[in-house]
Amino acid sequence: MKEKTRKRIRRWVISVLLAIIIILIGAGFYLLSYSLQPNKDIERKNADAWQYMFTNYPYLEPWVDSLNHIGALRDTFIHNPEGIRLHALYVEAAKPTKKTAVIVHGYTDEAIRMLMIGYLYSKELGFNILLPDLQHQGESGGKAIQMGWKDRLDVMQWMHVANEIFGDSTQMAVHGISMGGATTMMVSGMEQPYFTRCFVEDCGYISVWDEFSYQLDETFHLPAFPILYVADVICQLKYGWNFKEASSLKQVEKCNYPMLFIHGGDDGYVPTWNVYPLYEAKSEPKELWIAPGAKHAMSYKDHTKEYTRLVGEFVGKYIN
């Protein structure tokens, strides 16, 4: 009788453990899909991208119209080493110049939604500009958003493409916002080509692990353990990278190029405190601007003149 009871208890314990494991694996897959394949959000943003930009930045419409009138706003496509087809927009400066900016968008966005920064560099500063669509966003392929980590490799490829398009002797800045800011920092820690001059990151996160931990708590009121750990393992198996290695902090520690850090003073999505350890980890030369009262990715919109002035002065020190 005691033996039968022990067997029942053993089977019950095993069943419960298996159920917990299955639930955790399911939750890990859900979290990964929720984070890296938010397809409805991407489709919605793609559908109204032009209208959104013209409504929020009215000066863009006549500028874009003038570019389209002369065929200056152009598309280009490449394939990365994994065979994924990638898209970018580019505009040559009105006057021939070596000054060039590669401009990187944020999470679930696309190149079109970075045209306000394109305007800053092209119209205000006289730069050539190239704006890539990161994987799984805009017109680029890919099975999932890569949160900047694999995108750093694609952006580096785009930097070389931009250098070829704009004359093979450019002086280049890379400027990103939100996930694009994190991507910019991740690029900065790589070995740089001869034409790189400086980086501008706006409201990027410390690491994918830190950002996902924060969002898991904010959105679902859940701790990182155990679900984030499970999702991290699944991401490694499925996409070949993990949340902790996707670290902006570790990359800026390796960067010797000038970097301007920008963050909104009232950012609740990538909280403002993210920028301070990033700034401290970066060697000189570096600059930091906290945009007063700005929400996430709104520093340019809320402080357009100051943002333009600060970026212009910063890149002007290293690109001329």
**Predicted pLDDT of residue 15:** 86
pLDDT digits (tens, 9 = 90+) for 258-287: 999 999 999 999 999 999 999 999 999 999
* Position with higher pLDDT, 227 vs 17: 227
Identify the pLDDT of residue 1.
55
Residues 24-28: contacts with CB under 8 Å, at least 24 apart: 24/226, 24/227, 24/230, 25/230, 25/234, 27/227, 27/230, 27/231, 28/227, 28/230, 28/231, 28/233, 28/234
For residues 160-188, give the mean pLDDT.
97
Percent of the chain predicted with pLDDT > 90: 93
pLDDT for 71-88, tens place per residue? Answer: 999 999 999 999 999 999
The DSSP element (H or E) to which 261 belongs, if any, is strand 259-264
Question: Does the pLDDT value for residue 310 go beyond 60?
Answer: yes
> Residue range 94-114: average pLDDT?
98
Collapsing DSSP states into helix, strand and coil, what is residue 301? helix
Mean pLDDT of the chain: 96
Segment 118-147 mean pLDDT: 98
Tokens (6 digits) for 101 = 């900016």
CATH for the 39-207+246-318 domain, from 3.40.50.11900, 3.30.420.610, 3.40.50.300, 3.40.50.1820: 3.40.50.1820
